Amino acid sequence: MSRTTVSNAYNRPDQLSPQLRNRVMEAARTLGYPGPDPVARSLRTRRAGAVGLLLTDQLSYAFRDPAALAFLEGLTLECDIAKTGLLLVPAKPESEDILAVSSASVDGFVAYAMPDDDPHLMAALARPVPAVVCDQPDVEGVDSVGIDDHAAMRQIGEHLLDLGHRRIGVVCMRLGRAVMDGPVDITRQEGARYHVQRNRLAGLREAFTRAGVAWDRIPVVERFDNSVAAGASGAAEVLSLDPGITALVATSDVLAFGAMQELERRLQRVPQDVSVTGFDGVAEARNRELTTVVQPFLEKGHQAGKLLLDPARRPQARKVILDTEFLPGRTTAAPPV
Amino acid sequence: MSRTTVSNAYNRPDQLSPQLRNRVMEAARTLGYPGPDPVARSLRTRRAGAVGLLLTDQLSYAFRDPAALAFLEGLTLECDIAKTGLLLVPAKPESEDILAVSSASVDGFVAYAMPDDDPHLMAALARPVPAVVCDQPDVEGVDSVGIDDHAAMRQIGEHLLDLGHRRIGVVCMRLGRAVMDGPVDITRQEGARYHVQRNRLAGLREAFTRAGVAWDRIPVVERFDNSVAAGASGAAEVLSLDPGITALVATSDVLAFGAMQELERRLQRVPQDVSVTGFDGVAEARNRELTTVVQPFLEKGHQAGKLLLDPARRPQARKVILDTEFLPGRTTAAPPV
DNA sequence: TTGTAAGCGTTATCAT
DNA sequence: ATGATAACGCTTACAA
């Protein structure tokens, strides 16, 4: 029996007589042939049947961050439709080991919120497969999905300014690949390796600078982790830098929850004593009526998947900017008199 | 320049002179050679560098279930260590299409809480790669990880019996691959395709039967989704079948939250009017002090990963049964007099 | 240190 | 309807 016939028996049952097909399958059982080898098939067909996903952090991190989860959910829905697997590629930011990226058998990559200079990102973009970046700076020839972080954060700044706040503090997420928890000077703010954080800080800065508030007086504190605990300790540090602030701006909802926890511990009322804002619009933020910006994470994942899996790929890179919505909540009010 | 030299330049930089290596890399750049093809490499080395994961539901479901998430987190931690990617394989229960399973380029499979007769599971086990099943019945020659669902649920039953409950109702998760929301007779309970649900119901039944309570009088209601909404509607249905129950047993914490929501809507107090129990011990259950059984999801994922990735594989299948802890909370009390 | 040659297991093309 | 042949791109003994 020839190879071709066996291949057809598995892949094109209609191309050969049912009895021959049965004979093939029976022989396979007898001989212990487990069916076509996926890797060899991929080599021949030039299709891996999987999409690679690069995340900011080690794999397990993604399962703790509600925002990353929603993105993943949107992306997997597209993968389901395209009958494509999703390969979570280990890409710890502190590791320089890009072997996992360069040897991942995938038909394309999605990079989500990676730092601009991450070697894993570089390695993925260097691969001769399509890629989509999400929440990252545009790269020549690479499709991208994102929001206008700058404008969204400026809205939050303007909201606080309208309420009358002038002395504020900021807790932001990591700005580089190394742990650098502490106060952030303007140089580091501008040179942040994370597109999203850089733009949010810049947007806030623009709002305050326009209103005539000196930005270099505003304490900005960095935390590596996006966790409630990090938000709490970040808020504590901001308050130690300027105990007189009337509002705390966090660059994520999760950090804002931590800030609120710390304020509560200090018996400071929100918003009567200190206003707090977040960013993202995760479920808990809506429940607790945090003043925040809602961004469509699920839709981001959808769009990223669609761009990557769209068979009719355009000759030039496409760029999707999704809408955000400023959502005033009960955690902001006029500063105390 | 020979193929070998190029291969060595990429894979064994120490095996050739630095200047030659540089010459190779430069030539690669000039010629636009993107580096070794991962698929061809996998074919040759017989290593895919990825582990396949089969989940009960479509991929996106996993990102909604806190239990599945914790399992994933534990598993990915092991994958990180082994520098192996994790391939989420689309395996919708209602689909018979196993192509994604049989053509996934993986070095092994982890199957998590799949129904016993799922064709995707069969296809994965038929592949000539190692596999680990989790929360599933033992399969000849396949490593397994799980808990003693039967004993754990019996504990819950005994707890309720000790408090004096005799008329109870049950809300369980799906027992088969098709949506069959509604009351469940004993035949369907015993024939449930989901190992976990089957054993939990059997454990509860044993406790009540031993105490002399006729099990066939106890309303058991099935819901396909493991969601708060499903728990609420399931509880409502149980209450319509027997308005006189003094306790509601849910086979998951999430369903229990739904049951509590429905009881609150009916102005029934928990636990004064009706007791409620869950299963899993997710974070929210601990916060709300739900009476439940805590099971180590993270550890389950760890163990599954370890078994699969352990290079020193035993000749015979290994079986890991993890401990659970009965956690009495504030949602159970003696029935009203 | 570098090169030669033999597969890895498929599927596409073409011929019968 | 079925079969022969030629890649797919790589790694790895082994030889030079």
Strand C and A140 CB separated by under 7 Å: no
Q: Which residues of B184-208 are buried (b: 16+ CB within 10 A; e: fewer)?
A: beeebbeebbbbbbbbbbbbbbbbb
pLDDT class for A64, splitting at 50, 70, 90? confident
Best mutation target among B54, B60, B78 (most A Cβ atoms within 10 Å) is B60
Nearest nucleotide to B47 (CA to C1') is C8
pLDDT digits (tens, 9 = 90+) for B44-61: 999 999 999 998 766 667
pLDDT in tens, A83-139: 899 999 988 777 788 889 999 999 999 999 999 989 999 999 999 999 999 999 999
**Cross-chain residue pair B41–A103, CB shorter than 8 Å:** yes
Whether A214 CB is under 7 Å from strand C: no
**Using the beta-carbon criterion (under 8 Å), do B52 and A85 form an inter-chain contact?**
yes
Q: Which nucleotide is nearest to B43 (CA to C1')?
A: C8
Residues A55, A60, A65, A69, CA torsion sign:
positive
- Measured between beta carbons, the chain B residues lying within 8 angstroms of A60 are 73-74, 76-77, 80
Answer whether residue B1 shows pLDDT above 80: no
Helix locations, chain A, DSSP H = 3-11, 18-31, 38-45, 59-62, 66-82, 99-102, 119-126, 149-163, 186-190, 195-210, 228-241, 253-265, 283-287, 297-309
Subunit contact A80:B92, Cβ cutoff 8 A: yes
How confident is the model over A239-253, as a mean pLDDT?
98
Tokens of A24: 């093939």
Mean pLDDT of A18-27: 88
Residue of chain B nearest A45, judged by CA positions: B39
Give the least confident one: A193-197, B95-99, B207-211, B217-221. Answer: B95-99
| pLDDT, position A312 | 74
A60:B42 CB<8 A: no
pLDDT digits (tens, 9 = 90+) for B285-331: 999 999 999 999 999 999 999 999 987 777 789 999 999 999 999 99
What pLDDT is stored for residue A59 in this prediction? 61
Q: Which of the pair, B155 or B31, is modelled with greater confidence?
A: B155
**Mean pLDDT computed over every residue of chain A:** 93
Least confident window among A71-80, A206-215, A265-274, B179-188: A71-80
Mean pLDDT to the nearest integer, B139-148:
95
**Model pLDDT, residue B214:** 96
* Entry field: residues in chain B: 337
What pLDDT score does A68 carry? 87
B219 and B238 Cβ atoms separated by less than 8 Å: yes
Does residue B8 sit at the A interface (CB-CB below 8 Å)? no
Q: Which domains does chain A have, with CATH numbers?
A: 1-32 (no CATH), 50-147 (3.40.50.2300), 149-295 (3.40.50.2300)
Over the range A282-299, which residues count as b (16 or more CB within 10 Å of their CB) and which as e? beebeebebbbbbbbbbb
Handedness of CA A87, A88, A94, A95 (dihedral sign): negative
Alpha-carbon separation of residue A18 from A5, A14, A26 (angstroms)? 12, 8, 12
Cis peptide preceding B311, ω within 30 of 0: no
Strand C-contacting residues in A 42-81, CB cut-off 7 angstroms: 43-45
Residue B86 pLDDT > 90: yes
- Which residues have C-beta within 8 Å of that of residue A19, sequence separation ≥ 6? none
CA A245 to C1' D16, whole Å: 77
Cα separation, B260 vs B186, in Å, equals 25
